[in-house]
Amino acid sequence: EKIDQALQGGDAFMPATTQRKFRIAAGDFVEFLILPGLIQHLSLEARGVMIEVVPLPATNVLSTMLESGEIDLVINTPMTLGAGLRYEQITVIELVTMIWAREGVPPGRFPLELYLQRPQVMIELHQRNGNIIDRTLTSLGLERRIGALVQNFMAMPVIAAQTGYICNLPKLIAQVFADNFGLSCHEPPVEFPQPELVAYWHTRYDADPGLKWLRERVKQSIRT
Amino acid sequence: EKIDQALQGGDAFMPATTQRKFRIAAGDFVEFLILPGLIQHLSLEARGVMIEVVPLPATNVLSTMLESGEIDLVINTPMTLGAGLRYEQITVIELVTMIWAREGVPPGRFPLELYLQRPQVMIELHQRNGNIIDRTLTSLGLERRIGALVQNFMAMPVIAAQTGYICNLPKLIAQVFADNFGLSCHEPPVEFPQPELVAYWHTRYDADPGLKWLRERVKQSIRT
């Protein structure tokens, strides 16, 4: 087919002139992590490229949507998605613990006692990140206090800034909010696992130069 | 039944001492608008009250979830939800147009020419807010340029701050980001509709003093 021919890499991808829309499925924190740097780059170097970020579809339809081209890339923590997909690591998620700066917690590791005593703003439990923390604490026989359960990563630092509650955020996002909202960032009081963030695509598009370019830009944008 | 007796208002609700969890279904922008002020109040005056915000379920199950008590309150723009529900207005959503401050757009109304020429960061089209703007522009024979489509309200000002793209945000949220991210806020170049934000609950809980208290706190928290 014509589509498949094009996908075999016959056509070069020229960022400066190509008109193309990419659709990326990702959770809200990934969107926030990747998009500002990526869009900034596009606005300078690839003005015909448009990015749409959509919520993560159910796991059982992801593979089909990647194969059909309905979605170009899925960015998430590692999942079991079956045959026909490839992935590569985008970054590793390192968590930091935040509290309002007026608390005067010294730089460095967050004190465990305060971590367990002060209420925390958490992502509601359907989402995975909260589970990493709670699973680790449980394995140590510890438990944190729930102050509020939210659905949105960005709501956490804003609430923490107004209440003195603790929140835990990926380091790369935390730094944006720390300065702007008067929060201090610390290493967590115990070592949490550091999950990978990976990009999935369908093998059908292995040779698509545009998709290769996009994945490279996604990785670059995190370091911005 | 015992539950129904309690719900008829026999038991007073004492914020300072009651242990109770409320589950609110709301979109991400509502969470961001309401929660910081609400949680701040609870952390001072109602330390036993815990709030969980969950995503909006499908419209056809909302009424059942409110009746069963699985969700206490739904906060959204007006919907058609059938019998058994009551609602009251929480606030009215007024949009403002934002761009980086270095653009030097004078205070007041945003220039229409720049609004149509500069790419915009928008909420992806499944969500309702983008449609208000585009519907209004279309009715005037106008069209704005898509710079990026995101799923998350909070990603818009961050991207706008890094790219010079335009974004449109509810006024009450915009002001938080304007100062922190170097953006200026303006009246939109044309008049957009100002949708209501309403809280829905089930008539079964009309007499529940805790739920009355919660609705009042939600309304108050927006003015914080």
pLDDT of residue B180: 80
pLDDT of residue B55: 86
Question: CA of B37, closest CA in chain A: separation in Å?
Answer: 8
B151 vs A43: CB contact, 8 Å cut-off?
no
In B81-181, DSSP assigns E strands to: 85-92, 95-100, 120-123, 146-150, 167-170
Question: CA of B13, closest CA in chain A: separation in Å?
Answer: 20
Q: Are A162 and A183 in contact (CB under 8 A)?
A: no
Q: Are B203 and B69 in contact (CB under 8 A)?
A: no
pLDDT of residue B11: 65
Q: How far is CA A101 from CA A95, A222, B19, B118, B211, in A?
A: 18, 26, 29, 38, 34
Alpha-carbon distance A50 to A21, whole Å? 5
Q: What is the ipTM of this complex?
A: 0.79
The segments of chain B whose pLDDT lies below 50 read 1, 5, 128-129, 224
Q: Using CA coordinates, name the residue in chain A closest to B36.
A: A159
pLDDT of residue B1: 47
pLDDT of residue A29: 81
pLDDT of residue A70: 95
Q: Using CA coordinates, name the residue in chain A closest to B160.
A: A36
Q: How many CB pairs under 8 A join A and B?
A: 129
The segments of chain A whose pLDDT lies below 70 read 1-11, 125-130, 223-224
Q: Are B202 and B63 in contact (CB under 8 A)?
A: yes
Q: Which fold is adopted by the domain B2-92+195-223?
A: D-Maltodextrin-Binding Protein; domain 2 (3.40.190)
Phi/psi of residue B42, nearest 5 degrees:
-60, -40
pLDDT of residue A1: 47
A43 vs B155: CB contact, 8 Å cut-off?
no
Of the candidates A42, A53, A159, which has its C-beta nearest B150's C-beta? A53
Q: For B14-65, what is each residue's pLDDT tens digit? A: 988 989 999 999 987 888 889 988 999 998 899 899 999 998 888 889 999 9
Find where tokens 């990009």 sit.
A199
CATH number for the domain whose boundaries are B95-186:
3.40.190.10
Q: For A84-93, what is each residue's pLDDT tens digit? A: 999 999 999 9
Alpha-carbon distance B135 to B145, whole Å? 14
A-chain CB neighbours of B152 within 8 Å are 28, 31-32, 53, 152, 154
Task: State the Cα torsion B149-A151-B93-A40 to the nearest 10°.
Answer: -30
Handedness of CA A46, A215, B98, B76 (dihedral sign): positive
Q: Using CA coordinates, name the residue in chain B closest to A26.
A: B151
Among residues A171, A158, A52, the alpha carbon closest in space to that of B53 is found at A158
Angle at B169 between CA B156 and CA A165, to 5 degrees: 75
Residue B113 CB: number of other CB atoms within 10 A?
A: 9
B155 vs A37: CB contact, 8 Å cut-off?
no
B162 vs A39: CB contact, 8 Å cut-off?
yes
Domain boundaries, chain B: 2-92+195-223, 95-186
pLDDT of residue B206: 93
Measured between its terminal Cα atoms, the distance across chain B in Å is: 39
How deeply is A58 buried, as exposed, middle or buried, from its count of CB atoms within 10 A (0-12, 13-18, 19+)? exposed
- Beta pairing partners, B103: none
